[in-house]
Amino acid sequence: MSKQQQRKKSRPVGKESQSDIFDVIWDNVKSLLIAVVLAMIIKTSIVEAYKIPSASMEDTLLIGDFLIANKFIYGARLPLIDWRMPAIRDPEPGDVIIFKYPQDRVTNYIKRCVATGGQTVEIKDKVLYVDGEIFENPLHSKFEKDRIEPRTHTPRDNFGPYKVPRNFYFMMGDNRDNSSDSRFWGPVHRDLILGEAIFIHWSWEPDTNSPKATVSDPLSVPRLFVYNVGHFFERVRWGRLLDIIH
């Protein structure tokens, strides 16, 4: 009998099976950790999903739209370290961009870039000019109010001329009369830009009759689930799914 066979024979019963179980568990843990790390890299550096919570980009984007943004194109930041990858290109006028709100540098905002550093923005009676030329309204943009507000009352309808500083971007909502944007809180620095909106992957029609889920009522969650299942087909905006954002 060989020494290896002797060692196998002398091994206590159950040791081998315990070792095999541990190996299987460890392999699964490693696979899970790798998957989590890859998911973090993809989410923070390549693409990320966002939900539209307000009407400021109507009718390009509607409340309840869920979109995918390309974070790689402008040079995404790597997770855990404050380092930005090289950009494919810089933001351009016309791009629909996700960025951190300059006032708190935390909240995600989405607006359309209308001017970049060095360009001059001016609004005259709701008409947007960039470097003296009319900036064409986006296809699905809109104005909700006919009244022209004077410059002394609000910068909404009359603004500028204002020269955008270097490394900054002037952002406006496509719903020009109902958008908090660079007209009110200034341009957005390059460091705050996260990515470009690409397409709508899901769209869920808001429903004022939908029951609310609350912590104080444990049954509110199943009620909400049953309600959404019952109204699923009428609440999904099927025609918007996979729409490219222009």
Torsion from C-alpha of 91, 108, 103, 58, nearest 10 degrees: 80
Nearest one of 174, 172, 169 to 192, comparing CA atoms = 169
User: Quick one: three-class SS letters along 193-223?
Assistant: EEEEEEEEEEEECCCCCCCCCECCECCHHHH
- Residue linked to tokens 């966002």: 50
Q: Which two tokens stand for residue 212?
A: 């609310």
Catalytic choice (8, 15, 100, 111): 111
Let me know if 142 is a catalytic residue.
no
Q: What's 104's DSSP letter?
A: T
CA distances from 175 to 16, 146, 234 (A): 68, 13, 25
CA distance 179 to 126: 13
The pair of three-digit structure tokens given for residue 149, joined into one six-digit string? 């507000």
- Catalytic: which of 56, 141, 182, 203? 56
Could you tell me the strand order of the sheet in which 193-203 lies? Answer: 47-51, 65-70, 193-203, 96-100, 108-116, 168-172, 188-189
Closest CA to 63 of 178, 233, 222: 178
Alpha carbon 88 to its chain's center: 19
Known catalytic membership, residue 180: no
Task: Supply the residues annotated as catalytic.
Answer: 56, 111
